[in-house]
Amino acid sequence: MRIMHRNGQGIRQAAVADAAVIAELMTQLGYPCTADEARVRLGYWLGDPASRVLVAERDGRVVGCLSVHAVPYLERTGRWARIESLVVAEAARGTGAGRALLEAAEDVARAWGCLAMEVTSARARAGAQAFYPRMGYRGVCDRSERFFKVIG
């Protein structure tokens, strides 16, 4: 799958061959990762029909990646999509790669029949805290809380 956006970003599905650059991107995001670890993690995603990892290319080089997963509702009919990660290489920030990845993920989610998209971002990530509202996302932490527990 390749989607070209008006800003010249090429978007495609990630492949195992992208593991090294995805590892670099995850490390830039603050989650240290080796190419071998990224290869294993891609194995979780690439075979799952409700999951997608996308990469943004500029001038033949991967400059960003995004992972998205569809989750079925039980309380109503339909699904919602969750962006698990989005990172653009420091040198490529501000070039439209993040916007292109997010728009492509929204297209994928619509194709899956998703009714909504969710993304979380640490409050300390000032760039992300400004980016998502510009893209039409709104904070909802006043409506609910997110709870988390490590189980393994």
Which of the listed CATH numbers 3.40.50.300, 3.20.20.120, 3.40.630.30, 3.30.70.100 matches domain 2-134?
A: 3.40.630.30
CA distance 40 to 52: 15
CA distance 68 to 62: 18
**β-bridge mates for residue 119, sequence order:** 83
Identify whether the C-beta of residue 28 lies closer than 8 Å to the C-beta of residue 14: no
Domain boundaries, the chain: 2-134
From first to last of its 152 residues, the chain has per-residue pLDDT tens of: 566 655 667 999 999 999 999 999 999 989 999 999 999 999 999 999 999 999 999 888 999 999 999 999 999 999 999 999 999 998 898 888 889 999 999 999 999 999 988 877 666 665 666 666 776 777 766 666 666 665 58
How far apart are the C-alpha atoms of 140 and 121, rounded to whole Å?
Answer: 12
Please tell me the distance from the alpha carbon of residue 39 to that of residue 147, in angstroms, as a whole number. Answer: 29
